[in-house]
Structure 1
């Protein structure tokens, strides 16, 4: 009997795997969530919007764009919002790619990249990271062909942590043809303290083929509300806004995002606490003999290879994110939970 069949891509498309649940939120170091609860001012603003949930949200996201324009120093027509930066990425690739196009991206990097590429009908061209877990931008530039439509750059790289520097990106962009779209994914930009790290917004000037992705999920702690955005040339932002499903972002999410931008000083204190804890965790791991790449996000990466799944099981009840055959990513959480993880990691090494 015949029945409706999806596109053939679904015969090979892997499902996105969310971080492993834990018996309490505090023990969940597998999803790169912000460990702090919502700021009272943000929670109050979002809660107010609950009282009008019978109304459709503002499809134009006007309040969000006004606030982002003022905060980031960009024009409103350079912005396109969506359901997290990953939602914006899916929309962007669907709008700019079709069958026969290629998308170059680093690997290992964000797990959603190959899924988004395949769903857009394009062909992924993954390029291996360097030995220090950073982007090999020379190899990525070498991989660009006449079929290349988009190149993805993730800084800091998820799940390994290193950044792309300004000089590295400038040299790379000099080799990218003007008709190839370069996407800088900066989901963890607010955690970066590397003095030479690229800042995607600074790189936009004078370039018509470059966009930057940002999110409110990580530093701002709005992961559950799903809101992110793109900054880029007005012509590209306009296409993405057109391709985004109507009413994709709720007014609750928009209100929380705007309130977060207004509470940036309070959020900055939280960011500094997370960054300081990250440095302490990385220092402790290295002192215990672990090979930990430089990280400028809110996580650390342990390149455990074939031992990744066993190590993740060993860390219970702390939940960490294992990438089978590659490594384990551990989010920076509450100091007490980080200490439990470090104890488990030390016991693992002692037993080897």
Structure 2
């Protein structure tokens, strides 16, 4: 007998920080509002993808293929990797949860940059592991030497978000190689490539080549961003076979729905057309970032589908001013705001806001 009057969750559950999703746009009479708060792809689904989804929906009374065999085959062909080196899940965020669950005992340490993807501390705390946050550099980049120095005997996992959400910069291959050389081989290094397709920089990370050279590297990727399937929740990991097997072992049975599998396969078949849309978004990103700098804003090097405003205590004011213009941004209280690249009109309104906002 414990003397408790009701069931109690593990103590770490009460410490899990909430995930704050991007708010939907506020409806304003006579004005089209835009959601720039969730890093979504603004383009509608491609023809062909919609038809594949509709066909899958007609079979919704049946369970999905738990082995996701057709999706694994399509990913193996696209990435030119063995099926045994893959694991699929409900978005790359689910893979992060699974990685911490599979490789960390309670109290083990997980090192990551901060600010970075806000699901990291949630996943770490949910597993009763210990989060070790290493501040990003003033320009929003990962401080990889400091992250390597933060590794201790208790470290089991290091998360490298490239491009970094929400600040924007990406790690170079040279930086990643130097970092991996400093990481003990028993420490798992997760290269979170959710925004991989948007990177346009010298010496970009070649994730697949990196995973092939290291037995402790996992790549996590998603169909939510470039492929525009955020509503269907499907992501995948590429890793050496023993690591991928561990991920599959802790995955949720039937986690990736039939509809999501069909949409992902159809999207891979139309990858070239989708990447043309990514090129258009990158061109808009360049226009926005250039316009912001011309207006006096020192924004970090954007390599995702968003830009970052370092605002400190003016963050709430910026978010309120954005909402008045019919664009919803993602504020991080006391730090800054992340703004997705969206429709041309939405991006134009952001530039107008940047022109008049008193910093």
Scaled by the length of structure 1, what TM-score is found? 0.98
The Cα shift of 1:242 comes to 1.1
Is 2:186 the counterpart of 1:183?
Answer: no
> Are residues 1:84 and 2:91 paired?
yes
Greater shift in the superposed pair: 225-234 or 336-345: 336-345
Q: 2:58 aligns with which of 51, 59, 67?
A: 51
Q: Does 1:16 align with 2:25?
A: no
| Residue number in structure 1 paired with 2:39 | 32
Matched, 1:93 2:100: yes
The one of 224, 227, 238 aligned to 2:231: 224
The worse-fitting range, judged by mean Cα deviation, of 203-212 and 270-279 is 203-212
The match for 1:126 among 133, 143, 166 is 133
Is 1:333 aligned to 2:336, yes or no?
no
SS of corresponding position for 2:99:
helix
Residue 239 of structure 1: how far off its partner (Å): 0.9
Equivalent pairs counted in the alignment come to: 350
* 1:181-215 per-position Cα deviation (integer Å, ceiling 9, x unaligned): 00000000000111212121121123111000000
Match of 1:7 in 2: 10
**Pairing 1:324–2:333 present:** yes
Correspondence for 2:176: 169
Equivalent position to 1:200, from 193, 198, 207: 207
Q: How much has 1:124 moved relative to structure 2? A: 0.4
Whether the aligned pair in 2 keeps the contact of 1:213 and 1:229 (CA below 8 Å) is: yes
Q: CA–CA distance in 1 between the matches of 2:8 and 2:115? A: 31
1:280 aligns with 2:283: no
Partner SS for 2:301: coil
- State the match for 1:291 in structure 2: 298
> d(CA) in 1 for partners of 2:153 and 2:169?
29
Q: Secondary structure at the match of 1:315?
A: helix
Tell me the residue number matched to 1:269: 276
RMSD over equivalenced CA pairs, Å = 1.1
Pick one of 142, 146, 159 that aligns with 1:139. 146
- TM normalised by structure 2 equals 0.96
The whole-number CA distance in structure 1 between the counterparts of 2:349 and 2:144 is 37
Equivalent position SS for 2:212: coil
Q: Quote how far apart the aligned CAs of 1:26 are.
A: 5.9
For the residue of structure 2 that corresponds to 1:40, the secondary structure is coil
Instruction: Tell me, yes or no, if the aligned pair for 1:315 and 1:345 is still in contact at 8 Å.
Output: no
Per the TM alignment, residue 12 of structure 1 is displaced from its structure 2 partner at its CA by 2.1
Any unmatched runs of 5+ in structure 2?
A: none
Deviating above 3 A after TM superposition, structure 1's stretches of 4 or more consecutive aligned residues are 23-26
The answer to whether the 8 Å contact 2:39/2:340 transfers is yes
Give the distance between the partners of 1:57 and 1:162, measured in 2 at CA.
37
Q: Residue in 2 aligned with 1:314? A: 321
Work out whether residues 26 and 334 of structure 1, in 8 Å CA contact, stay in contact via their aligned partners in 2. Answer: no
Name the CA distance, whole Å, in 1 between partners of 2:209 and 2:155.
24
User: Deviations for 1:137-162, whole angstroms, at most 9, x for unmatched residues?
Assistant: 00000000110000000000000010
Q: Is the 8 A contact 1:107 1:129 kept in 2?
A: yes
Distance in 1 (CA, whole Å) between partners of 2:260 and 2:59 is: 13
Q: Is the 8 A contact 1:26 1:333 kept in 2?
A: no
